[in-house]
Amino acid sequence: MGEILLPLLILCPLVASMIISVSAGRVGTCAIGAIACVGVGLSAILGIILSVMLLSGPAAGVLPVVLWRWIHVAGFSADIALTLDRVSMVMVLVVTVVGLLIHVYAVGYMREDPGIARFFSCMTLFVAAMLVLVLASDLLCLFIGWEGVGLCSYLLIGFWYDDPANTAAARKAFYMTRMGDAALLCGLLLLATAAGSLHIGAVLAAVADGQVAPSGVNVAALFILVGALAKSAQVPFQTWLPDAMAGPTPTSALIHAATMVTAGVYLIARLHDLFAMAAPVMALTAVLGTLTLLMAACTAMVQSDLKRILAWSTISQLGYMFLALGCGVWQAALFHLMTHAFFKALLFLTAGAVIMRAGHEQDIFRLGGLRHAMPGLTAAFVVGASALAGLPLVTAGFYSKEMILSGVWHVHFGLTREWTLSGHPLWGMALLGAFLTALYIFRCVFIVFCGKPGTVATGRTSRLMGIPLGCLCFLSLCGGVIEMPDTLPPLHLFTALLDPKTPLSHADEPVWLVLAGALAPLAGLGVARVLWGRAAPVMREIPGQAAITRLARAGWGMDALYDLVFVQPFRLLTWLAHHDILDQAITGTGRMTRAISGRVFRARAGFLDKLAVWGTRARGWAGHLLGRLDNGRVRWYAAWIAGGLCAGLAMAVLS
Amino acid sequence: MTPLPALVLLPIVGGGLAWLAERIQPHTASPARDASWWVALGILIVETLLLVLVTVRHPDHAGPWLGHFSTPWIPAMGIAVRLDMDGLSLSLIWLSLILCFLCLFLATRQVTVNAGAFHFLFLATLTGIIGTFLATDLFLFFFFWELMLVPMFVLIAAWGHEDRQRAAMKFFMFTQGSGLLMLLSILGLVIAHYRESGVLTFDYFTLARTPLSPALSMLLMLGFFTAFAVKLPVVPVHVWLPDAHTQAPTAASVLLAGILLKTGGYGMIRFNVMLFPDAASRFAPIAMGLGVAGILYGAWLSCAQDDVKRLIAYSSISHMGFVLLGIFTGSRIGMQGAIIQMLAHGLGTAALFLVAGAIQERLHTRDMHRIGGLWAAMPRLSSTGLFFAVAALGMPGLGNFTGEFLVLLATWHVSPTIATLTTAGLVLSAIYALRMVNRIFLAAARADLRPVRDIPARQMAVFACVMAFLVVLGLYPQPFMTFSTPSPLPVTDVTGQTAATP
């Protein structure tokens, strides 16, 4: 039963995508939306059925399906194989359920767009690719999905291709993730060489058995980390995600907030056993995650574009997940991944609806006072913002962030035998990040929804868009209560779900730790209210002239740096390559040969001429001399005969 | 009775018929060029039937060679007409036929001037190609190798684009010159064998057993290698390729990129690695270096092109670098990767050239700046182009990735550093492929774009078949990998040798 349902889970959106792309231009807008929603909806239903089947089975049960043999050669084998275990189950539910809500929303959002068929075929293809990524039990098979989602992301960021800026953003996203993909491929090659297979179980077993040298494990983990960092837009690859907001808003919600960018987190969570054996890489992951979360939060603070604020906040939240992964609490990372998918999708979709009704205005300073014009959307955005900030007890974000913070507090990085590193500084920075998160998102809330009205809101949000928002509101508020710190009612459904045998213990958790985690967002909210929330705000805009603000607004100059270090040299190189140097060289050689042969030809001709002239002259002289002999005097003839005879005799005698 | 000689002779004889068919002016309304087209199509169908016969016919002896044909040609010199077929040649012949059908359906009908002669030369090239894939007498091999060249030269020089004379001359000079080196090598090998055993023969299997000194075998191998390297092409001697591909008419571009380049890879497998295994393994580091250089250099130059066909041509150089790398890794994985890469590249690049040809036919330009965005005007053609561009950049799940992955895996076994360097080529391939997509497909349409006709649905169906092939190669390559394995060396494998000479 499960063996049939699991491939169907992927097939439904895939078939929907193919139907839409084949029938493009022949069926109406509504039909296209319906096909897409049915495809993803069927997938969601199948996902729920399979989850129920999996959970009702034995505790450690998995549902493996080997579809067919992909590549079998001497020393290496790969299969097209899927596995539904508890980790992938969580992801499947997130992808299909959130995906379905976003698809329903998109039917309303994209109704007027002429390219709706292309949009939905890419979106459903994305869902299929994402499901391949999630369900694959072979890393090479996972790589199909990994690149597939990248391709869909490229197509959707550049969806409105009439503007070259959009396609440039799309290419940037693809190139940067492609660099990570190349690194990931190197990691896969290393593991494949060592383990002879890329089946996740086999790879982890090989690593555990010591078939891979410790240095090899570190290098492989590093390669995979680079791939994950690029896909999840972490430092130093973060620059593509803010630009990726050029795509339609449902795309930003689905791909660049809820699912694709979390693929890196998922991959590392999948391979957490491998990473556990690479302590330095783990520490690096944690440090990069912390760096990203602080840097992105600071950047979000000074942005003025609503979608870019949310993009930077996504980067920052992904930083939390990487921090958790680096600290070994991958369960917390997955938990935050799930709640983040809910509230960030909510924030993006609400922002999309707001922007649409405010006449496509994205600048938060030109929006403003929208509270009265659109109360429903305001409520939804506030719910999303609270969950993102992690306001204590009532939001999902609080519980997941709390789980990460407590995990970070307890961690010790054993870099070498004698040198260990405590996680406390990272905890402090993560707490600061929580404060900043509340600050920047409520800055956004107060500026956009309170104060004086800026733009005139038109129309109303259609029901197709409203219902998904309602569902996501509910999930953002209540999706977190399945896992609570021990200080509160000790409820550990999520960790028990992931790993029934050894649930994560929170036993020795001091009360003040939870309290600190709860107070940081509240403090952020308070400060934001003081700064931007009053009737006459203390400051509307953070002074834009300050050098640091300008620097931060531009993403800390990383774009400019990359432009200088990578893009311009590459441009120069391609400019140099405009003429094939080797071609020039060989053509030049040819030309030179021709020139030389021409000269040789001329020289030869000249030489022959001269030779002929000389020859004629010499013949003349010779004739003259011979003529002299032939002078008609008998004495001379007799003398010649006698001389010749003497000479002949002398030669005959002497020889 | 073996169908191998028929397989070789049918296209050129049929080509002659096609030429005649154009001469006999029919009194019906249909234009003359259609007559030759129909004849060519018929010939190809018969040829395909023959090939199906060879494919499904079980050889009477259990051996790796699927077919064999031998008859003396010039007995005094020990030259025979000897044809043998194994999985590798069979799969490459299948590729050739598929591409010929593609050309016939999508490109050659547009030829208006002298269509009969065009079809004759087209089919003559096919004869040369099939003969090259089948010949196991070295003299015969050389004969077909040169035979393949001449009609292609005429095709480029007579039906090509603006700078065709120069391109054709360059193509001819390079391939002819390197072919002479190969002839010298062949003669050298034959003479060495004659000195050793006193038997004058050009037979591949006999010559493979010639004991050679290391220096001599290296020298002879280099002669072969040069000829194949020019054809493949390998980087310093690739310069004929961009010009020839760009200036050739669409059908000739397809044949050039799709199959002619593969004869180079085939030759390297059959003659370099199998005739001179020791010399090849000593030469492997240099060859692998050249392969990586080709991958990176081709991709780099491809990034800089403005001419669509030139861009695709340079991307071919990059892809063929993988073939060279895979062949000289010296492992079975690498060899199989190279073969899969050849098949996938043949299909994918041929389709890209057809797309470029369709664009040029409609807009009369190949300059990407002057083409502009075509998606709104031609969604079918654009989505086809997008698909094959994505295949060219090595999307997993499509054929090219399978080949590249296997080659990389084999390379990683030899040297992780080289493999890591090679993956940089994958990033570059994304750059040139998407640059092309964002220049001519997914871009704002030019204001002065005249109304153009999208490709008709039946042509789309042909393209869809190629897409399906690539997907199958990407997701289910196992049958092809088992099927297209070259037969084991007759030297090392005694049973193979006895089976090969029944």
Q: How many Å apart are CA A27 and CA A30, to the nearest integer?
A: 8
Q: Which of A333-337, A451-455, B342-346, B490-494 has the lowest mean pLDDT?
A: B490-494
Same structural domain for residues A453 and A346?
Answer: yes
Angle at B59 between CA B55 and CA B63, to 5 degrees: 110
Chain-wide mean pLDDT for chain A? 88
Please check whether residue B191 touches A, CB under 8 A: no
Looking at the predicted structure, is the pLDDT value of residue A227 above 90?
yes
Task: Tell me if B396 and A143 make a contact (CB, 8 A cut-off).
Answer: yes
Asked if the C-beta of B430 comes within 8 angstroms of chain A's C-beta atoms, the answer is yes
pLDDT over threshold 90, residue A574: no
Does residue A640 sit within a domain?
Answer: yes
Residues from chain B that touch A170, judged by Cβ atoms under 8 A, are 438
- Note the pLDDT tens digit of each residue in B449-482: 778 888 888 889 999 999 999 999 999 998 888 8
Other Cβ atoms closer than 10 A to B444: 15
pLDDT of residue B25: 62
Cβ <8 Å between B435 and A171: yes
* A17 CA: distance to closest CA in chain B (Å): 14
> A interface mutation test: which of B237, B239, B413 has the most A CBs within 10 A?
B239
Instruction: Return all residues near A319 (Cβ < 8 A) that are at least 6 apart.
Output: A234, A288, A289, A290, A291, A292, A293, A294, A296, A433
Taking alpha carbons only, the member of A303, A570, A332, A252 closest to residue A441 is A303
Least Cα separation, residue B101 to chain A (angstroms): 24
Distance spanning both ends of chain A, measured CA to CA: 117
For A114, the closest chain B residue by CA position comes to B376
Residue A647 covered by a domain: yes
Contact B501, B205 (CB under 8 A): yes
Dihedral of the alpha carbons of A251, A254, A260, A265, in degrees to the nearest 10: 140
The pTM of this model reads 0.89
* Amino acid, single-letter form, for residue A330: W
* pLDDT in the model for residue A573: 84
Q: Quick check: B305 and A577 in contact, CB under 8 A?
A: no
Query: In this structure, are residues A353 and A295 in contact, taking their beta carbons and an 8 Å threshold?
Result: no
> If you average pLDDT over residues A371-382, what whole number do you get?
88
- For residue B233, the chain A residues in CB contact (below 8 A) are none
Measured distance CA(A348)–CA(A307) in Å, rounded:
7
Which residues of chain B neighbour A75 with C-beta distances below 8 Å? 333, 413
Query: In the 8-state DSSP scheme, what is residue B455?
Result: P
Report the pLDDT averaged over residues A16-37: 89
Q: CA B198: distance to chain centroid?
A: 37
Tell me the backbone φ, ψ of residue B111, rounded to 5 degrees: -70, 120
Share above pLDDT 70 across residues of chain A, in percent, rounded to a whole number: 96
**Confidence at residue B445, expressed as pLDDT on a 0 to 100 scale:** 85
User: Would the CB atoms of B435 and A186 count as touching at under 8 Å?
Assistant: no
Q: Which of A13, A135, A134, A131 is nearest to A63 (CA)?
A: A135
Contact B304 A189 (CB under 8 A): no
Any CB–CB contact under 8 A between B240 and chain A?
no
At A17, give phi and psi (nearest 5°): -60, -45
Rounded to the nearest 5°, which phi and psi values hold at B107?
-130, -40
Q: Kindly state whether B415 is in contact with chain A, defined as any CB-CB distance less than 8 angstroms.
A: no
Number of domains in chain B: 1
- Min Cα–Cα distance to chain A from B302, Å: 9
As a whole number of angstroms, the distance between CA B191 and CA A142 comes to 55
Q: pLDDT digit string (tens) for A178-211?
A: 999 999 999 999 999 988 889 999 999 999 988 8
Interface residue of B438, B467, B470 to substitute, partner A, most A CBs within 10 Å: B438
Q: Are residues A503 and A602 in the same domain?
A: no
Distances in Å between the Cα of A28 and the Cα atoms of A33, A88, A118, A342 are: 9, 35, 13, 31
Rounded-to-integer distance, Cα B454 and Cα B459, Å:
10
A418 and A507 in a single domain? The answer is yes
What pLDDT is recorded for position A568? 87
**Number of domains present in the structure of chain A:** 2
Q: Which of A161, A575, A578 sits opposite B373 (nearest CB)?
A: A161
Stronger pLDDT, A117 or B65, i.e. the higher one: A117
A contacts of B408 (beta carbons < 8 Å): 185, 189
Angstroms from B182 CA to nearest CA on chain A: 21
Interface A–B counts its CB contacts (< 8 A) at 124
Say whether A578 and B408 touch across the interface (CB within 8 A). Answer: no
Phi/psi of residue A64, nearest 5 degrees = -90, 140
Predicted confidence at residue B499, as pLDDT, reads 37
Owning domain of residue B137: 4-500
Is A574 close to B427, i.e. CB distance below 8 A? no
Asked if the C-beta of B417 comes within 8 angstroms of chain A's C-beta atoms, the answer is no
Query: Which chain B residue is nearest to residue A166, measuring alpha carbons?
Result: B443
Q: B484: which chain A residues are within 8 Å (Cβ-Cβ)? A: none
Question: What average pLDDT does this structure show over B120-126?
Answer: 91
Are both A404 and A513 inside the same structural domain?
A: yes
Question: CB distance B303–A580 less than 8 Å?
Answer: no
Least confident of A99-108, A352-361, A453-462: A453-462
Question: What's the pLDDT tens digit per position in A513-530?
Answer: 888 888 999 999 998 888
- Give Cα separations from B434 to B302, B404, B464 (angstroms): 11, 19, 21
Q: Residue B87: which pLDDT band, with cuts at 50, 70 and 90? A: confident
Give the residue-averaged pLDDT of A471-484: 86
CB proximity list for B486: less than 8 A, separation 6 or greater: B86, B87, B88, B269, B270, B274, B335, B339
Task: Report whether A51 contacts A105 (CB < 8 A).
Answer: no
Instruction: Identify which of A71, A76, A574 has the shortest CB distance to residue B402.
Output: A71
Pair A453, A398 in one domain: yes
Predicted pLDDT at A584: 81
The residue of chain A nearest to residue B464, with distances taken between CA atoms, is: A22
Q: How far is CA A655 from CA A641, A642, A650, B255, in A?
A: 21, 20, 8, 77
Q: Is the pLDDT of residue B61 over 70?
A: no
Query: Do A282 and A413 contact (CB within 8 A), yes or no?
Result: yes
A603 and A530 belong to one structural domain: no
- Res. B27: pLDDT tops 60: no
Longest C-alpha distance within chain A, in Å?
151
Given a contact cutoff of 8 angstroms between Cβ atoms, the answer to whether A261 and A232 are in contact is: yes
- Shared domain for A551 and A585, answered yes or no, is no
| In contact, B376 and B442? CB cutoff 8 Å | no
- Asked whether residue B343 carries a pLDDT value surpassing 50, the answer given is yes
Residue A486 forms part of a structural domain: yes
Burial class (CB in 10 A: 0-12, 13-18, 19+), B183: middle
Q: Decide if A389 contacts A524 (C-beta within 8 A).
A: yes
Task: Clarify whether residues A447 and A544 are in a common domain.
Answer: yes
Which chain A residue is nearest to residue B407, measuring alpha carbons? A189
State what percent of residues in chain B have pLDDT above 70: 93
Which pLDDT belongs to residue A388?
93
Asked if B125 and B148 count as a contact pair (C-beta separation under 8 A), the reply is yes
Between CA B289 and CA B321 the distance in angstroms is 10
Query: CA nearest A340: which of A303, A364, A362, A315?
Result: A315
Which of A73, A174, A197, A572 to mutate: most B Cβ within 10 Å? A73
**Ranges A363-377, A412-426, A563-577, B282-296, most confident:** B282-296
Closest partner CB to A175 (pick from B405, B412, B427): B427
Give which of A71, A113, A118 to mutate to test B binding, by max B Cβ within 10 Å: A71
Clarify whether residues A521 and A643 are in a common domain: no
Res B498: pLDDT: 36
Residue of A nearest to B331 (CA): A74
Chain B interface test: which of A69, A154, A161, A237 (most B C-beta within 10 Å): A161
Residue whose pair of structure tokens reads 């369709």 in the numeric block: B358
Nearest chain A alpha carbon to B441: A161
User: Shortest CA distance to B310 belongs to which of B163, B499, B172?
Assistant: B163
As a whole number, the mean pLDDT across chain B is 87
Residue of chain A minimizing CA distance to B305: A578
Q: Is the pLDDT at B195 greater than 70, yes or no?
A: yes
Of A151, A167, A587, the CB nearest to B443: A167
Asked, for residue A67, whether it belongs to a domain, the answer is no
Spatial contact of A370 and A453, defined as CB atoms under 8 Å apart: yes
Task: Judge: B427–A179 Cβ closer than 8 Å, yes or no.
Answer: yes
**Among A233, A235, A252, residue whose Cα is nearest residue A244:** A252
Q: Which two tokens stand for residue B293?
A: 């250089």
The last residue of a domain, from among A537, A555, A573 = A555
Report the gap between the CA of A96 and the closest CA in chain B (Å).
22
- Provide the chain B residues 299-318 that lie in CB contact (below 8 A) with chain A: 300-301, 303-304
Dist. CA A424–CA B344, nearest whole Å: 54
Could you list the residue range(s) of the whole structural domain that residue A600 is in?
581-654
Give me the percent of chain A exceeding a pLDDT of 90.
Answer: 49
**CA end-to-end distance (rounded Å), chain B:** 14
Average pLDDT score over residue span A52-69: 85
> Which one of B239, B297, B395 has the shortest CB-CB distance to A586?
B239
A493, A638: one domain: no
pLDDT of A135 above 90: yes
